[in-house]
Chain A
Amino acid sequence: AQSVTQLGSHVSVSEGALVLLRCNYSSSVPPYLFWYVQYPNQGLQLLLKYTSAATLVKGINGFEAEFKKSETSFHLTKPSAHMSDAAEYFCAVRTGTASKLTFGTGTRLQVTL
């Protein structure tokens, strides 16, 4: 069985500060990992994905995530937060093309002036 844990349902950072959203996964086989973003009253947008190539994955809007097998983690980072980054972020895991996508419970990012 696969699962995802997102630490912190709410994270608040100042504009210009580092963004760090935490995600840990559990999987019995090599996973595919994803980060999605949901802006208020909108659908899901793929930020980035890990599919067993490079462990450091760069996504859109300046976000990146690093796959660390030893820590079973896939934390999302951005060096400098912008007000437009305020949204809810979901980490998700999939163990193959024929398996479902299992989501974490989400982290709401607030960016303050």
Chain B
Amino acid sequence: EAQVTQNPRYLITVTGKKLTVTCSQNMNHEYMSWYRQDPGLGLRQIYYSMNVEVTDKGDVPEGYKVSRKEKRNFPLILESPSPNQTSLYFCASSSLDSTSGNTIYFGEGSWLTVV
């Protein structure tokens, strides 16, 4: 079954305590990305990756880091979380093959609260 798996699904943490949200996909997709969802703002892209060792900033990258050491994994790192990073985070992946129909697969989301 095609899946994008995120962990943890729910997390409450304190300001400044480094955390990592993992993301893994089993579809051999080249393209992976992270979004955050905030009320009234929809989903905004944080970072994306076109393939292993290739990452780039999205629309709201400040305060986040990512890495792409393996094709299937794309962790999101918050080095020093702040309360304004309290949000719902989604990982997504898709194939760069045009015959795939451009479908983007999303994980189930990670609710992060920074106090």
Shortest A33–chain B CB gap in Å is 10
Q: Is the CB of B107 within 8 A of A100?
A: no
A40 interface hit (Cβ, 8 Å):
no
Shortest B35–chain A CB gap in Å is 8
Q: Is the CB of B43 within 8 A of A100?
A: no
Contacts of B43 in A (CB 8 A): 90, 92, 101, 103
A51/B33 contact (C-beta < 8 A), A100-B45, A100-B58 known: no
Q: Is the CB of B96 within 8 A of A51?
A: no
Chain B positions 58-93 with a Cβ under 8 Å from a chain A Cβ: 58, 90, 92
B31, B33, B40, B108: the one contacting A43 at CB < 8 Å is: B108
The interface size of chain B toward A, counting residues with CB under 8 Å, comes to 28
Contacts of B104 in A (CB 8 A): 34, 94, 101
A49/B101 contact (C-beta < 8 A), A42-B108, A101-B92 known: yes
Bound together, the chains give a CA A36 to CA B40 distance in angstroms of: 16
A77 interface hit (Cβ, 8 Å):
no
Q: Is the CB of B95 within 8 A of A97?
A: yes
Contacts of A102 in B (CB 8 A): 45
A94/B102 contact (C-beta < 8 A), A42-B108, A44-B90 known: yes
A46 interface hit (Cβ, 8 Å):
yes
Q: Is the CB of A43 within 8 A of B109?
A: yes
| Residues of chain A at the chain B interface (Cβ within 8 Å) | 9, 32, 34, 36, 42-44, 46, 49, 51, 90, 92, 94, 97-98, 100-106
Pairs A-B, 5 closest by C-beta atoms: A43-B108, A103-B42, A105-B42, A103-B43, A44-B106
Residue contacts A-B, CB under 8 angstroms, 10 given: A9-B40, A32-B102, A34-B104, A49-B102, A90-B42, A100-B33, A101-B45, A101-B92, A103-B42, A106-B42
